[in-house]
Structure 1
């Protein structure tokens, strides 16, 4: 466990249960970054280090790798839903938030599509439920007669774009996502995290 020390040499006050929410948020952010940089098999200890907490804190929030993956996916979807619920939301603005998450959490793209033989079936079931929530958030703002309004065109286009999101840097992944939307002739708003 890494011990944090204040500038004056003292340990910070132990906030106990009050720190739980802060620690969880830091762990989800760290997990998103670590998994995007190093893939899903990255050591969980790296997540704890990046979040500035001990491994015990990590395991209290996420007892295993699947729980950490599910938490990041859940947070991504929650932000897309929040963007869709915003009073000024438009389809292209919500797509911009979705595209940010696709580029930021590229390590999870495969989980949103095909179930590979064996393994991670719990994550797969959870990812399918989350994909349905993303579709619902997008459909709220899909203009009538939009090119993606027929049948499964919306779901298929999101799957196609997310499959194109590859690259070693976040900028490269974002560039490829925007190029894929452009090839589908779909306008995307500013690519950003939803900040309320």
Structure 2
């Protein structure tokens, strides 16, 4: 008996070179979801399927697993920077965006605090750069004398350490509980939509 692919399993139609930016964005979004659910070792084919593209499209944008992970991390940090630079930025609002990314991208928390031992993404230098960008963005929206001024990244590390659990909702709940324990108000937990 011959089995036919279901509509979900069929290879998507080739949308051509004009779809490159949309394909890349779909791959990054899909990678965030797949990695959050299954970790960094999830199959790249699952990412391509979730994005609605073939594996060849994935490899045209990202030569390897590390490049996919780096793209997701870069997008996370870029959104935090954009939230901090927004006209109406508040510390709580930016922390809400940071918390969303921590809950959605739990597989990447270790990379943001890499000690150089993992070997992934030339981890130490890359993770250090991302961590410094997050710190600059957060510091840029803190008013003088804010309770996080002296221990900002220690607080972020403590909250990110609390972000565990099988679902983004569980991870978000734990992150918010950690912020409450630190006495730091957090705005709506959401991605930045500038």
Output the TM-score relative to the length of structure 2.
Answer: 0.91
Q: Deviations over 1:145-168 (max 9, x none)?
A: 111112xx1011111111110000
**Secondary structure of 2:117's match?**
coil
Q: 1:21 to 1:122 in 2, by over 3 A?
A: same
Q: Deviations over 1:123-165 (max 9, x none)?
A: 3322211111111111111111111112xx1011111111110
What CA distance in whole angstroms lies between the structure 1 residues aligned with 2:78 and 2:170? 24
Q: 2:183 aligns with which of 182, 185, 189?
A: 185
What CA distance in whole angstroms lies between the structure 1 residues aligned with 2:126 and 2:115? 12
8 Å CA contact 1:31–1:47 kept in 2: the answer is: yes
Q: 1:86 to 1:118 in 2, by over 3 A?
A: closer
Alpha-carbon RMSD:
1.5
1:25 paired with 2:25, answer yes
What CA distance in whole angstroms lies between the structure 2 residues aligned with 1:2 and 1:126? 37
Structure 2 counterpart of 1:98 = 98
Q: 1:145 to 1:40 in 2, by over 3 A?
A: same
Query: Which stretches in structure 2 are left out of the alignment for 5+ residues?
Result: 1-8
8 Å CA contact 1:2–1:53 kept in 2: the answer is: no
Structure 2 counterpart of 1:124 = 124
What CA distance in whole angstroms lies between the structure 1 residues aligned with 2:156 and 2:121? 21
8 Å CA contact 1:48–1:54 kept in 2: the answer is: yes
Query: Which stretches in structure 1 are left out of the alignment for 5+ residues?
Result: 5-11
In the alignment of these two chains, the number of paired residues is: 186
